A = this chain, B = another copy of it.
Amino acid sequence: MSTENELHSTNAAPALLTVREQGSFAVGGTVIRCAGTYDPTGASEGGQTLHGDHANVSYQVPVEARRYPLVFLHGNQQCSRTWQTTPDGREGFQNIFLRRGFACYLIDQPRRGSAGRSTQPMTLLPRADDQTWFDNFRIGMWPDYFPNVQFSRDPTALDQLFRQITPDTGPFDVNVIVPAIEALFDKIGPGILVTHSKGGGVGWLSAIRHRNIRAIVSYEPGSNFPFLRDEVPPAMECAAGPLTALGVSGEEFERLTEIPIAIFYGDFIPEEPTANRGQDQWRVRLAMARRWAEAVNRHGGDACVVRLPDIGLKGNTHFPFSDFNNIEVANELSKFLASKGLD
């Protein structure tokens, strides 16, 4: 373990972070109003309101920030924690890109994490599913780690990763999340949206709706790829169930052809069908992403799908931005922004 830790502690004693401004705020959301008159001596809902379904955003702005901030949106069962310290205790994308001069905005989407106040009820049932996540996250096939996986074998790292999981406090609803992201881009102006996993689908729909999203970098998007309505591909079958795509109007789709889009997937994605659910779903998601990027580009867009091992970055999990080689993964993001004149 010590050898491994030493090997990967390349950013153990980094330079000081100099922050011009940092804080947090809520954006978006709605207000529910109960009929009646408020009674301060009772406990009734009459005449009262409920503010809910907002996103919560924490941010840091460095000195001499670059033109566009990076806005980070987590995936399923995750929150802004995703982008902070890595499970093995190194710096995550928040610090890495703050050091590179980007203002960083970290979203807790509505009904998740610190933005937990929902207008809809939810029953939370604890479920023992860590091993399912281990497979889904492509750290290995439980209980085995992939031999060259860029993830620590120290059990405390896996413990930390499992504890990043945090549930929905209301039903997942893109029609609630996307407006909150629109409200954020209204507030902060033009920026780059960086998404992970299920956040990818939210990202495409947000970019359709808000022109302040000037590019998208998506790590391992999983669902809700929006095709032109008459070009929606058939569902792709996999061991975890069928993967379907969305249909959108020509006007909506056109927006996705107007911004640069980079999609990154890690390693260990099988080429052929397999009965392992965690494995197999990535096979169809990668296939769908490729099909979608091809459609976007056929209509004049600028989308690329990069399998990290194809460019020499081997061993990445579902969380490339917190893997051992996350500095190299970050370099690819930086290169992408530079190549598009967006940094």
Chain A contacts to B: CB under 8 angstroms:
16-20, 22-26, 29, 32-34, 38, 40-43, 45, 47-52, 54, 56, 58, 63, 79-81, 84-85, 89, 91-92, 95, 108, 112-132, 135, 141-142, 159-160, 162-167, 169-170, 239, 275-279
Contact = CB atoms under 8 A, between A and B. Distances in A.
Contacts of A131: 38, 40, 47-49
Contacts of A63: 16
A175 B33 CA distance: 36
A17 B98 CA distance: 13
Given A40-B276, A84-B23, A114-B113, A129 B91 contact: no
17 contacts: A16-B20, A25-B89, A34-B128, A38-B131, A40-B132, A45-B127, A49-B130, A50-B127, A51-B130, A52-B126, A58-B84, A80-B114, A81-B114, A108-B114, A113-B113, A114-B114, A120-B126
A126 B119 contact: yes
Contact of A126 (B23, B29, B121, B132): B121
B166 A24 contact: no
Given A45-B128, A160-B25, A166 B114 contact: yes
B81 A33 contact: no
A208 to B, nearest CB: 26
The quantity of this chain's copies bound in the complex is 2
B127 A124 contact: no
A184 to B, nearest CB: 13
A163 B45 contact: no
B121 A91 contact: no
Contacts of A47: 131
A126 B32 contact: yes
A195 B79 CA distance: 24
A278 B16 contact: no
